[in-house]
């Protein structure tokens, strides 16, 4: 046993110092924790967030990714909290992992994925969490060409995806009268209606109305690797070469 532990007075004094340090430490942690968690940190504006996404997609599509924020330092820096600059609702399709196609890393994107990128109750809750509690101000609904979930709904083969198909059917119905490729039209319409649904659904609608967040739609093209915004003139899928 060390001499200090044999002396009761010194032991008591040491215990007192340790207790003070622990209490001080707890106060510091408390001050940096809940106080900041109560008010979401401010993220980039929706326009700036979209710019970051599209710049990353351009790097990816051109085969020049820089793969930012994927190192140990970034991982360690994020261990205490996250402030993703964009929330993405995309398809589960293995060919469109958002971090890769937008050339991002850890802590940048809050991602909700399911077959057909549909906005069911669970997806809506997750997107609301990102916008209300993590300060994320941009929500991107991302469809993609040749989507299997939309194709299955279009052809009526929905026995394995009944709940997903229910969400996609309005888009299929609305796009039926359109000219052009039926699947491409249904995919575009599915994104468009999902953006509309999220934008008018409580509690996201209030945030959109207040100008706190923006909800936008886009389609990822498997052939080119490019993400085309819904309101872009190039939104209509280009024929495969």
Nearest to 46 by CA among 135, 133, 126: 135
Compare residues 48 and 181 and give the one whose CB is closer to Zn ion. 181
Nearest to 107 by CA among 133, 70, 135, 140: 70
Q: How far is the CB of 143 from Zn ion (least distance, A)?
A: 7
φ and ψ at residue 31, rounded to 5 degrees: -65, -30
Q: How far is the CB of 110 from Zn ion (least distance, A)?
A: 19
Q: How far is the CB of 220 from Zn ion (least distance, A)?
A: 9
Compare residues 105 and 120 and give the one whose CB is closer to Zn ion. 120
Compare residues 93 and 167 and give the one whose CB is closer to Zn ion. 93
Tell me the pairing of strands 214-220 and 227-229: antiparallel
Bridge partners, residue 113, by sequence: 90
Q: How far is the CB of 201 from Zn ion (least distance, A)?
A: 22
Compare residues 137 and 226 and give the one whose CB is closer to Zn ion. 226
Helix/strand number for the chain, H first, E second: 11, 5
User: Going by C-beta distance under 8 Å and a sequence separation of 6 or more, which residues neighbour residue 229?
Assistant: 54, 216, 217, 218, 235
For residues 46 and 86, is the Cβ–Cβ distance under 8 A? Answer: no
Q: How far is the CB of 190 from Zn ion (least distance, A)?
A: 9
For residues 65 and 101, is the Cβ–Cβ distance under 8 A? Answer: no
Nearest to 91 by CA among 140, 130, 143: 143
Compare residues 114 and 199 and give the one whose CB is closer to Zn ion. 114
Compare residues 49 and 123 and give the one whose CB is closer to Zn ion. 123
Q: How far is the CB of 197 from Zn ion (least distance, A)?
A: 18
Bridge partners, residue 140, by sequence: 88, 216
Tell me the pairing of strands 138-144 and 86-90: parallel
Compare residues 93 and 184 and give the one whose CB is closer to Zn ion. 93
Rounded CA separation 207/46 (Å): 12
Give the binding site for Zn ion (CB under 5 A): 91, 93, 147
Q: How far is the CB of 149 from Zn ion (least distance, A)?
A: 5
């Amino acid at each position: 046993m060390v001499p200090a532990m044999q002396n009761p007075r010194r032991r008591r004094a040491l215990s007192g110092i340790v207790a003070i340090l622990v209490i001080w430490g707890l106060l510091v942690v408390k001050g940096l924790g809940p106080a900041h968690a109560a008010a979401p940190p401010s993220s980039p504006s929706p326009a700036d967030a979209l710019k970051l996404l599209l710049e990353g997609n351009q790097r990816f599509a051109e085969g020049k990714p820089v793969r930012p924020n994927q190192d140990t330092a970034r991982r360690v820096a994020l261990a205490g909290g996250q402030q993703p600059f964009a929330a993405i609702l995309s398809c589960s399709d293995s060919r469109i992992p958002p971090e890769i196609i937008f050339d991002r890393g850890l802590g940048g994107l809050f991602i909700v994925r399911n077959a057909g990128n549909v906005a069911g109750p669970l997806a809506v809750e997750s997107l609301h969490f990102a916008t209300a509690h993590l300060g994320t101000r941009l929500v991107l609904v991302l469809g993609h060409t040749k989507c299997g979930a939309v194709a299955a709904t279009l052809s009526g083969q929905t026995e394995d995806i009944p709940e997903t198909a229910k969400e996609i059917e309005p888009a299929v119905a609305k796009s039926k009268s359109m000219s052009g490729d039926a699947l491409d039209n249904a995919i575009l319409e599915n994104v468009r209606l999902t953006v509309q649904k999220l934008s008018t659904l409580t509690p996201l609608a209030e945030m959109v109305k207040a100008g706190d967040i923006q909800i936008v739609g886009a389609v990822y093209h498997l052939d080119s690797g490019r993400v085309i915004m819904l309101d872009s003139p190039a939104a209509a899928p280009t024929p495969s070469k």
